[in-house]
Structure 1
């Protein structure tokens, strides 16, 4: 009897001292699963190094991205190769401009395009899809018919038309990419909303007199967070790929600004003349960003997938 009493007292002391294992929230559980994914964590570290390079890289740059080294312009192949002594760590381009500074600016531009494009798709696509899926009926039919019409048109053609009509600039490029990036997001969110709105906790909320706005903001959208975050992470490299293709065609960022796609296009055009570094350096950062973002998105999908947990 005394042993049982002592055991109960020890258990009470453990509870009081909070030494008992606590339950974890869904987001904490997803975070623990994500950090256990070695590929995703490794890619996160590499992507962090790329971002750090963009932030602190200008502090080490000797030349400005618009400044021309007239001494190397006449003989880029012989004098414009990568060199620490000259201050051109990545060499120069065909116009004698420092490729190190231009690569920093190009990487910054590509990252901004990917993040802003994904953010626009996240906001517009989620709002559009939730509205269509939750209210349903003729509104859903009309909204999804509009999305189907836009999806029937090649996205590249839409982007090119917007850039040609509105002119080439940062804002126009962001708007052009955002105009097509939300379409698939809206269909995914709409499908998830249709599945959620018939669940028991939604019916209970309606029976309790909760308004439609409160149901959407408190119940529907939080349960969509996992799917939306995963798709948004995968959408970032897609936006970078789209911008790079547009810049490769010469319709993206205009001079003196640049992007990784534009630098790759310039390097591909001059690689036959022995200036291979003009292609390799921007291509390295481009491939690194794309691969790391896909692995991070894959890690988020595994961490947030309720069927896999």
Structure 2
């Protein structure tokens, strides 16, 4: 009689050692697959990539510089300044005879840079502030969060305008002004997530193993905050662009000869009644495209990284 116990054990060992049988799916891979399945987010990424490509490659096709004045078109902007391939003004000209194609490229790059740098500053400052306040708690948490509450009680636009008026209008000042008010919400979100994580089992196990507090924050707390931080950062970029555009619309943003999408939209809105609709149409189109694509990408990241949907 043949003992089948060894045969069954061998089959079981073969199944367990089979790599394809026990290979799992990481959370990041699962999130990636979920994000790639979101057609709206992928389509918006393609549109945003086309806008970035336009900013990078567009200057090589521009006939006119963003500062050069076409004196002929300036004489009759409504007729001679209209969009035309023959004159080299693909998007037309503004009231001063400057090429709107080159100025739209400059304005789009400015708005994208302002959005990315402003969101990055808010990301770094807000994450650090929220993690420290939430993890250490106690009196330090109370002091830090009361500072946040006081700053949030002050109107955001008022703070930005005061900084620009006192420090002067420049790229650096604009970045500082936007970053100074944009990290507050990020700090509160990160603090709330840190409070929920710092008493979890894996953190207690790290403490029992003798891991230092800074190491626990870097190795255990921050990686688990990655999903929330990425989603909010992606939604923060259009907020920065909207804030900068509103400041430029008020005439307190980027100073001439440089420009942004908000400044171009403001100039186009002022001359729209004279039949020069293209002066607002092209900048407004790029502005709407950037805002909508960033919101859809952020929504796709939220759906992909949300643990409740797994």
Which category of TM-score, normalised to the shorter sequence, fits these structures?
over 0.9
1:115-264 aligned within 5 A: 115-264=116-265
Measure, in 2, the Cα distance between the counterparts of 1:27 and 1:99: 43
Shift of 1:14: 11
Q: SS of the residue aligned with 1:87? A: coil
Residue in structure 2 matched with residue 282 of structure 1 by the alignment: 283
The alignment covers a number of residue pairs equal to 307
Measure, in 2, the Cα distance between the counterparts of 1:112 and 1:29: 31
Measure, in 1, the Cα distance between the counterparts of 2:167 and 2:199: 44
Q: Deviations over 1:134-189 (max 9, x none)?
A: 00000000000000000000000000000000000000000000000100000000
Q: Does 1:266 align with 2:262?
A: no
Shift of 1:19: 5.0
Measure, in 1, the Cα distance between the counterparts of 2:272 and 2:57: 29
Measure, in 1, the Cα distance between the counterparts of 2:22 and 2:116: 38
Q: TM-score, normalised by structure 1?
A: 0.95
Higher deviation after alignment, 46-55 or 198-207: 198-207
Measure, in 2, the Cα distance between the counterparts of 1:64 and 1:50: 19
Shift of 1:208: 1.3
Measure, in 2, the Cα distance between the counterparts of 1:119 and 1:28: 25
Measure, in 2, the Cα distance between the counterparts of 1:83 and 1:263: 19
Residue in structure 1 matched with residue 300 of structure 2 by the alignment: 299
Residue ranges of structure 2 left out of the alignment (5+ in a row): none
Shift of 1:20: 4.6
Q: SS of the residue aligned with 2:307? A: coil
Residue in structure 2 matched with residue 105 of structure 1 by the alignment: 106
Q: SS of the residue aligned with 2:89? A: coil
Contact 2:15–2:21 (CA<8 Å) still a contact in 1? Answer: no
Measure, in 1, the Cα distance between the counterparts of 2:282 and 2:49: 18
Q: Deviations over 1:1-51 (max 9, x none)?
A: 99x969x77x959966x5557322111111110000011111111111001
Q: Structure 1's 21 and 276: CA in aligned 2 closer, same or farther, altered over 3 A? A: farther
Measure, in 2, the Cα distance between the counterparts of 1:304 and 1:185: 17
Q: Does 1:50 align with 2:51?
A: yes
Q: SS of the residue aligned with 1:307? A: helix
Residue ranges of structure 1 left out of the alignment (5+ in a row): none
RMSD: 2.0
Q: SS of the residue aligned with 2:95? A: coil
Shift of 1:209: 1.0
Residue in structure 2 matched with residue 23 of structure 1 by the alignment: 24
Measure, in 1, the Cα distance between the counterparts of 2:172 and 2:24: 46
Measure, in 2, the Cα distance between the counterparts of 1:172 and 1:154: 18
Residue in structure 1 matched with residue 33 of structure 2 by the alignment: 32
Measure, in 2, the Cα distance between the counterparts of 1:13 and 1:26: 24
Measure, in 1, the Cα distance between the counterparts of 2:262 and 2:217: 40
Measure, in 2, the Cα distance between the counterparts of 1:14 and 1:211: 37
Measure, in 1, the Cα distance between the counterparts of 2:22 and 2:190: 36
Measure, in 2, the Cα distance between the counterparts of 1:292 and 1:89: 24
